[in-house]
Amino acid sequence: MLQQETDGRNAVQLDRKIGLTQATALNMIDMVGIGPFVVISLVIQLMNGPGALWAWVAGALLAITDGFIWAELGAAMPAAGGSYVFLRECFGRKGLGKFFSFLFIWQTTFQAPLVIASGAIGFANYFKYLAPLTDLQTRAVAGGVVILVIALLYRNISGIGKISVALWVCVLGTMGWIIWSGFAHGSIEFALQDFTMPQLSWAYAAILGQATVKTVYSYLGYYNVCHLGGEIRYPERNIPRSIFISIIGIAILYIAMNFSVLSVLPWREAMKSDFVISLFIERIYGRESALIATALILAIAFSSLFAVAVGYSRIPYAAAKDGMYFNVFAKLHPVKHFPHVSLLTLGGLGFIFSLGNKLSWVISAILAMRIIIQFIGGAVGVIFLRRNPDFRLPYRMILYPIPVVMAIAMWLWLFYSTGYISFAGIGMMALGSLVYYFVFVRKPSNENGNTLRK
């Protein structure tokens, strides 16, 4: 098990300064971004009523089953890089592991900035409730948010941990207010008046799959702590705990928030609103309170971008240290000890992508690019890892292999549910495979079998 990440050229090390509270905070603020506030109406539209709650339950079930996989992998390999390290070690450094880990880094180069951009686009679109914006102004707000996030992250990890806890308090406080307001002023009977039980049919499964794509986007981030594995204190305990605390806590908050909203707003009205929570608060307390709620939602969205960017910036850094990516990404800041080149690169691409304005398509594209290599690859990797006697597993999931089988089946279901956008994921894998062939197969490598680190 790796205890420290070291830059061999200058002996600069990543510092293990993130405890359980800070790790959980980073996970939860990553999960609760703009997603749950902008997809509520989309999910109600797809499910045509309060049955939308089943999509949030399905998303929670997938997060829990997949969380078992991440907890086992993260506790066994607590190093910077997350899935890059997991795929490399589970499948072998010189065999499939090298290929899969490269594909993951290749996809991360594009999908990580897309994740950053999706949060920024959602932020800018929701900002319109506060003030009307032209299309150009909306794009400018999105780009400005990305720049501010990167500026705040340009510091030592201990400072980031403290900021994350403050943002976490904001997240929990805002969602608590929303949930309490609905239960205090609404009616559960009103929320459930058109509620229907799930139907056993292919048509229903297809619709539920499309809706669950949106809810899963809102749950993503429960594994963020694994990307920061090299900076977590007592990772064997804190990584699994932070994952499960995050998933269970956020699932309760999401389902309660949906009940709360539907107990006040008719679902036919809610599904047509671009600012569901703002409309919900306005209906209860008036316009001024709705403006405050909108400002808090924007703060939550900003918090999520903060956690997303810090986690993803560690992935190209870890790959570059192994010679599996461009050498410049392996550099740590000489004073503040964080991968500044990686952070600035992903942030720059995120800024460019944020100038677009198609959030629904971006959400589906993010999942289509991740599912096969990152999620299904990780699930299969656990099976290989358990057969490797050289690895100690500080944490072992309960009921193995049931969670693994369930996770693979549900991820395949969602990949199919992304529709034609799934071809974007397949296309990225094909292009990445072609790049891998020319870089690592045809091109002569150095003595370590790597060609990118020169």
Model's pTM, two decimal places?
A: 0.85
Rounded Cα distance, 126 and 129, in Å: 6
User: Which residues have C-beta within 8 Å of that of residue 391, sequence separation ≥ 6?
Assistant: 76, 89, 385
How high does pLDDT run on average in the chain?
85
In one letter, which amino acid is 426? I
Q: Which of 107, 69, 367 is nearest to 211 (CA)?
A: 367
Which residue in this structure is represented by tokens 């090298």?
98
CB 298 within 8 A of CB 327: no
Q: What is the 3-state secondary structure (H, E, C) of the chain?
A: CCCCCEECCCCEECCCCECHHHHHHHHHHHHCCCHHHHHHHHHHHHHCCHHHHHHHHHHHHHHHHHHHHHHHHHHHCCCECCHHHHHHHHHCCCCHHHHHHHHHHHHHHHHHHHHHHHHHHHHHHHHCCCCCCCHHHHHHHHHHHHHHHHHHHCCCHHHHHHHHHHHHHHHHHHHHHHHHHHHHHCCHHHHCCCCCCCCCCHHHHHHHHHHHHHHHHHHCCCCHHHHEHHHECCHHHHHHHHHHHHHHHHHHHHHHHHHHHHCCCCHHHHCCCCCHHHHHHHHHHCHHHHHHHHHHHHHHHHHHHHHHHHHHCHHHHHHHHCCCCCHHHHCCCCCCCCCHHHHHHHHHHHHHHHCCCCHHHHHHHHHHHHHHHHHHHHHHHHHHHHCCCCCCCCCCCCCCCHHHHHHHHHHHHHHHHCHHHHHHHHHHHHHHHHHHHHHHHHCCCCCCCCCCCC
Per-residue pLDDT of the chain (454 residues; tens, 9 = 90+): 443 344 444 445 566 778 898 888 888 877 887 888 888 999 999 999 999 999 999 999 999 999 999 999 999 998 877 888 899 999 988 889 999 998 998 888 888 888 888 889 888 888 999 988 888 999 999 999 999 988 887 765 556 667 777 778 888 888 999 999 999 998 888 888 888 888 889 999 999 999 999 999 999 989 988 988 888 888 999 999 999 999 999 999 999 999 999 999 999 999 988 889 999 999 999 999 999 999 988 988 887 787 778 777 877 887 888 777 777 888 876 766 678 888 888 888 889 888 876 777 788 888 888 999 999 999 999 999 999 888 889 999 999 999 999 999 999 999 999 888 888 889 989 998 998 888 777 765 554 455 554 4
CB 422 within 8 A of CB 416: yes
CB 439 within 8 A of CB 451: yes
Rounded Cα distance, 349 and 346, in Å: 5
How confident is the model over 364-422, as pLDDT tens digits?
Answer: 888 888 999 999 999 999 999 999 888 889 999 999 999 999 999 999 999 999 888 88
Rounded Cα distance, 361 and 16, in Å: 37
Which residue in this structure is represented by tokens 């592991």?
97
In one letter, which amino acid is 40? I
Which residue in this structure is represented by tokens 């339950």?
57
CB 371 within 8 A of CB 414: yes
Q: Is 295 exposed, middle or buried (0-12, 13-18, 19+ CB in 10 A)?
A: middle
How far does CA 190 lie from the centroid of its chain?
Answer: 33
Rounded Cα distance, 59 and 53, in Å: 10
Rounded Cα distance, 59 and 64, in Å: 9
Rounded Cα distance, 86 and 226, in Å: 10
Q: In the CATH scheme, what is the homologous superfamily, with its name and number, of domain 15-78+152-311+359-442?
A: Amino acid/polyamine transporter I (1.20.1740.10)
Q: Which of 34, 26, 21 is nearest to 302 (CA)?
A: 34
